[in-house]
Amino acid sequence: MEYNIAVVSGDGIGPDIIREAKKTLTRVGDVFGHQFQFEDLLAGGCAFDAHGTPLPEETVTACKRADAVLLGAVGGPKWDTLPGHQRPEQALLGLRKQLGLFANLRPAILFPELADACLLRKEAVEGGLDLMVVRELTGGIYFGEKGTKETEQGLAAYDVEIYSEEEVRRIAVVAFELAMKRNRRLTSVDKANILESSRLWRRVVNEVAPAYPEVMLSHMYVDNAAMQLVRDPRQFDVIVTGNLFGDILSDEASMITGSIGMLPSASLNVENFGMYEPIHGSAPDIAGKNVANPMATILSVGMMLRYTFGLAKEADAVEAAVRNVLRQGYRTQDLMSPGMNAMGTEEAGDRIAAAIGK
């Protein structure tokens, strides 16, 4: 099979980690008989520098005609003084909206090989961890009405949290379906004791639940969920929540994986077309220094193979290759511990690619 992938390397370490992800896909193609064609596109700060906009129309057009999108990272201090609508992060919001990417899947897996890199107490993570955060991606406070107004206390700013029943219903279905394929436990996270939007969220999730009688549904306030993630993360299997809460909780979940450099993500639309990216930032301070961890990006490639292309065997091979390299005692800078062998970005990509199919 031949697959066309729109590649948005972005800013900072984006080009470094995307280069290694391309190696992985090329190796998968060689081993399993596929062809992956890459179209390199600009978005983020580099696009603003070149075109005066963080998301050129030609990038959106190319992404729409591709089979999937692979993204590195965008942003950095260089562009922090730009007006909000010109900041690099608007490229992410724009792509998510224009591609209809409403469901963000963020697995948080602690490989047993990285137990020593996890900051949680050993008894909390013994035997490894595997949970999935399902984040609604195109609604909520990030896309609600926003602005400024004069008040008696001076200028005030506001951002509106808003969700429709249909937005909640479709992300709930995604979460229930995932729970059915895992351990059939779903935790819906909200702030229904305070927020009207959360009360609607909880009501709609409860309305969806009867269609999945085998899934054990529970509800949890977001402040408690944040505490429970570090107190007893093994109580969770699938977590579904809104845009803002999902952004925060999935980043917190990086604490149980050993490094944020290990967390991939998939952003899907109703047809399983997806944009795949690591959840970490652009880290411009280490860009081009051959020290960035490419494994979250490579694991994102595995998610692309699994969710958009339906290539489960190939996805398993990518994930197994990452584990094999870790099992051999190789670590990037962010994962280093005594007795391990240090490897740079390029070596990590080479070793993982070589391990595919072995």
Helix (H, G, I), strand (E, B) or coil at 342: strand
Q: CA nearest 98: which of 59, 136, 142?
A: 59
**How far is the C-alpha of 235 from the C-alpha of 217, rounded, in Å?**
13
Ordered DSSP codes for 162-178:
---HHHHHHHHHHHHHH
Ordered DSSP codes for 28-58:
HHHHHT-EEEEEEE--SHHHHHHHSSSS-HH
Residues assigned a catalytic role: 142, 191, 223, 247, 251
In which residue are the tokens 């992404």 written?
A: 63
The conformation of residue 272, written as its DSSP 8-state character, comes to -
**How far is the C-alpha of 77 from the C-alpha of 50, rounded, in Å?**
17
Q: Strand pairing partners for 70? A: 7, 276
Handedness of CA 318, 320, 267, 79 (dihedral sign): negative
Structure tokens given for 307: 């969710």
